[in-house]
Amino acid sequence: MDECDRRQLPPELRLLFADDGVGRVLPTDLPEGAVVWPDPSFARFPSRSPSRPAFWLSDEPVSGELWAKLRAAHPESGLWPLLLEDSVQPWSAGQIAPDNPALIDNFEAGAFMAEVWSDWLAQASPEQIEDLFPFGRECPGLAPPGRLLAEPDAVADWYACVLAERRPLLGLAAADRGADALVVMGWQGAVNHNEWAVPMAAVVRSWEERFGARVVGVGFNTLELSVAAPPVTPEHAIRVAAEHWTFCPDNIIQGPGNLVDYSEQIIGKYYWSFWWD
């Protein structure tokens, strides 16, 4: 087999692409694994039979170094790597709801933030509103972009090595960017907050652009992002904290309890970890 043939995507991985992965190459070896087909009964539109698998899943845990190689190969392969929490569900059970990433274009992070803020205020107590000090009833809107403190891909590679200590599996999704991979693979981790991954991915896209964020790991109800341009002042951090509250209220409500204390935890932090109850 010549070098050109060796670099072509294996037939199983080509199934992930609508165009059969024409022109895609993967200049690194993969561990043993298999593609994951969605369970039709778990899909967002159960009447639609999936035409192709949602993503590829390794059989065994992988290293952060392999994640970094695959991240660097993304422009050639079209496959975004994800470190997946080692759990039978939802991955191998097909409990996922893949969707079209083109739908993300219909959503805007600021509009999502304002809607969540407004909906929550409609049923919040005065004490709960106090926890949103200094904003209260006034949604502050999106925070200004951060200033890059490091190269985004380098920070992502570092964080992958940190997460690899948990012995995650490897997922590969045919997606243009990490945020889109959440929709392509049918991630449902935030279902108790927002049952549709598409608007959540719109927020993550915005963070990719404003804070040098990269999607590194996902779990049953978790999301792990590297961040190369984190807030470095209290004023900026409190604005970012407000965004985090609308994206993942459990981080604050079941964590420090209010925006001010939470904002102190994310100043200068090179990763954002989210968890939904």
Dist. CA 88–CA 69, nearest whole Å: 26
pTM value is 0.93
CA diameter of the chain? 69
DSSP 86-105: --IIIIITT------GGGGG
**Whole-number Cα distances in Å, 67 to 21, 29, 62, 80:** 20, 12, 8, 9
Q: How is the beta sheet containing 79-84 ordered, strand by strand? A: 33-36, 55-58, 169-174, 79-84, 213-218, 222-227, 271-275
Do 82 and 172 contact (CB within 8 A), yes or no?
A: yes
pLDDT at residue 46, as a whole number: 54
Q: Which residues contact 185 (CB under 8 A, 6 or more apart)?
A: 54, 55, 82, 96, 98, 171, 173, 175, 218
The band of 86, judged by pLDDT with boundaries at 50, 70 and 90, is confident
Dist. CA 257–CA 191, nearest whole Å: 21
Query: What is the arithmetic mean of pLDDT over 98-124?
Result: 94
Dist. CA 148–CA 262, nearest whole Å: 21
Q: Among candidates 115, 259, 105, which has minimal Cα distance to 183? A: 105
The band of 5, judged by pLDDT with boundaries at 50, 70 and 90, is very low
Dist. CA 272–CA 222, nearest whole Å: 11
Q: Which of 35-44, 100-109, 139-148 has the lowest mean pLDDT?
A: 35-44
Q: Which of 47-51, 159-163, 172-176, 213-217 has the lowest mean pLDDT?
A: 47-51
pLDDT at residue 4, as a whole number: 47
Q: What is the pLDDT of residues 155-169, one digit of tens each?
A: 999 999 999 999 999
pLDDT for 103 beyond 50: yes
Dist. CA 14–CA 21, nearest whole Å: 5
Q: What is the pLDDT of residues 39-49, one digit of tens each?
A: 877 766 554 55
Percent of the chain scored above 70 by pLDDT? 95
Do 212 and 194 contact (CB within 8 A), yes or no?
A: no
pLDDT at residue 20, as a whole number: 94
